[in-house]
Amino acid sequence: MTEPHLADVPDVLLREFAAVVGETHVLTGDATAGYAVDWTGAFHGHTPAVLRPGSTAEVASLLALCGDAGVPVVPQGGNTGLVGGGVPLHGEVVLSLARLDRLGPVDTSAAQVTAGAGVTLQQVADADPALDLGVLIASRGSATVGGAIATNAGGLRVLRYGPMRSQLRGVEAVLSDGTIVSHLSGLVKDNTGYDYPGLLAGSEGTLAVVTAARLQLVPRAAGPVTVLIGLDSLGELHELASRALREVPGLLSAEFFTAAGLAVLAEHAGLAPPLRAPVYLLLEAAGPGAGEDLAALAGDLPVAVGTTAADRARLWAYRERHPEAAGFLGVPLKLDVSVPAAQWVRLASEVAGVLHAVDPDARVIIYGHVADGNVHVNVVTAAPADGRHEEAVFGLVISLGGSVSAEHGIGALKAPWFPLVRSDAERALFTRIRSAFDLAGILNPHVLPR
């Protein structure tokens, strides 16, 4: 890593920042520490200053100052990203959107709400007792609206409601020259001009700083039922999940994990398996007939059913604690990949084999979202982590027509692999799009290599 360019932010600029947001909201020195490392501790950076604007106008003034001075900026939300996209790895100024925490009244006739970038996803979900946010991710309590848009967050209900992009009905954002663009009226249909809100979703803070969003809400799930089903093979599991997609109209989630991960959780976290099988499918559905539909689907297979909140939480824990499982064995490499539906069984069946070919003693734990073709591959390496593990997994994924990042983004972590999944022509286009938005060339320069 190159030396952070802390000297690039002169005192006079710090004073100009303070004139915009107040001295309290320009953090320097030790006060910046928590903003310079991600929540997992995997990415460590340094920053000369953390700026905490309290309004869109302040964001605009700060970006104009940074743009004029050519000072690189990393926007940061809840800092729950998994690819280092929100960490000042090269001494960038951190623009924290946490104080943009205004949550507007819910428009119940449209089932929409306008939320500041710093509002957490949980706060959006709790805004109205009859409504919910369609996106459900484990970090819902700390991940924020702005970050979830920037990374196009996916999670546990994509099969029903799509990712964060699908919830967007408008955004307000600031370009790096301080220009504000805003389109928050929340129209379901509006074919006037280019859909830049959708483009900002998944742009990882490289195009503009989202300051607020108009979000579509969904009906809160009525009478949710959760089942955990044991199966003999990934092929059978995929087939059953595909049937669930067709035959269970109220389906919300279709998650999988394996005996390998569950054994680790049983040993280290005391999670006793409710049933024993090589692979597990967790399904959740809601609405009229959901319980009957799931029971009909499970047939004679071993199954555990949860209808109360406590029982459902108990079943979900087997899946939701899987991200921790590999951590009990060492420091895991976390790879988030996806393939077309028809290739999912091959990916899930073969990924451990290709890893063991380069690192016979590696421990591999897989789990994820079966309906989305998405597998989270966690590897505790025995051989040196010199890129060989990524090469093995990504090579398999690409041979199956898949993506090296299903829902986490490219960030810093996957930048070296970006050219494997996007052509020269596409990356040249991305660079031009980026220049069209980021006139000052200062937004997240280390993310999405040009």
Residue of 342, 357, 382, 383 that binds a second copy (CB under 8 A): 342
φ, ψ for residue 275 (rounded to 5)? -160, 160
Q: Can you tell me the distance from the alpha carbon of 164 to that of 173, in angstroms, rounded to the nearest whole number?
A: 16
Give how many residues touch a second copy by CB under 8 A.
81
Residue of 303, 373, 377, 393 that binds a second copy (CB under 8 A): 373
The DSSP call for residue 236 is H
Hey, is 316 helix, strand or coil?
A: helix
| Residue 345 Cβ vs a second copy, minimum distance, rounded to whole Å | 10
Would you count residue 2 as binding a second copy (CB under 8 A)? no
108-138 burial, b at 16+ Cβ within 10 Å, e below that, comes to eeebbbbbbbbbbbbbbbebbeebbbbbbbe
Would you count residue 369 as binding a second copy (CB under 8 A)? yes
Residue whose tokens read 């000072």? 71
Residue of 151, 167, 226, 444 that binds a second copy (CB under 8 A): 151
Would you count residue 190 as binding a second copy (CB under 8 A)? yes
- The window from 51-59, 70-78, 95-103, 430-438 that contacts a second copy (CB under 8 A) reads 430-438
Whole-angstrom CA distances from 298 to 43, 239, 241, 291, 295 are 42, 12, 10, 11, 5
By DSSP bridging, strand 73-76 and strand 93-96 are: parallel
φ, ψ for residue 213 (rounded to 5)? -145, 145
Would you count residue 249 as binding a second copy (CB under 8 A)? yes
Would you count residue 166 as binding a second copy (CB under 8 A)? yes
Would you count residue 233 as binding a second copy (CB under 8 A)? no
Hey, is 422 helix, strand or coil?
A: coil
Would you count residue 443 as binding a second copy (CB under 8 A)? no
Would you count residue 402 as binding a second copy (CB under 8 A)? yes
Measured from the CB atom, is 43 or 394 closer to a second copy?
394
Alpha helices in 276-422 (DSSP H): 290-298, 309-320, 322-325, 344-358, 388-399, 418-421
Would you count residue 109 as binding a second copy (CB under 8 A)? yes
Would you count residue 183 as binding a second copy (CB under 8 A)? yes
Residue of 84, 163, 306, 332 that binds a second copy (CB under 8 A): 163
Residue of 34, 340, 387, 395 that binds a second copy (CB under 8 A): 340
Would you count residue 57 as binding a second copy (CB under 8 A)? no
- The window from 107-115, 252-260, 302-310, 311-319 that contacts a second copy (CB under 8 A) reads 107-115
Would you count residue 42 as binding a second copy (CB under 8 A)? no
